[in-house]
Amino acid sequence: MLLLAVCATVLIIVLPQPTEPFTELYLLGPGGKASGYPTNLTVNQTANVTVGVVNNENAGTNYKLVVTLANNTITTKTFSLANKERWQDSISFAATARGSGQKLTFDLYKEGAADVYRSVYLIVNVT
């Protein structure tokens, strides 16, 4: 019984455990930092945010990113990532209407899925 317990413990330590598949979705501000996001703008002022995706799905995956500001689509991007591959892109946007609390949303979809898989957002105030 003791030998069986020792063998089981060794197997647990030596063999890697399968990980739960997931995708990372993140935003970066100026200088590639997770801070300093453009949240206070004037009408028609252009701002930039870097969006990143990391595939940890244990398989190659096709994605679609839809960026909206106040429910208006700014851009749509499609791309494919191999397992453990990272994608980053700078997204430019300009608010065309004044108002506080406008939601800048980054919705990520996996290929063939109708529902949003991951989502992040910023609240933007426009004067």
Prediction pTM value = 0.84
Is the predicted pLDDT of residue 36 greater than 80, yes or no? Answer: yes
Which residues, listed in sequence order, are joined to residue 77 by a DSSP beta bridge?
65
* pLDDT tens string 67-86: 999 999 999 999 999 999 99
So what's the architecture of 21-126 in CATH?
Sandwich (2.60)
Exposure letters 9-30 (e unless 16+ CB within 10 A, then b): eeeeeeeeeeeeeebebebbbe
Task: Confirm if 106 and 65 have CB atoms less than 8 A apart.
Answer: yes
Q: Please report, as a single letter, which amino acid is at residue 95.
A: A
What is d(CA 123, CA 49) in angstroms, rounded to the nearest whole number?
Answer: 13
Domain ranges of the chain: 21-126
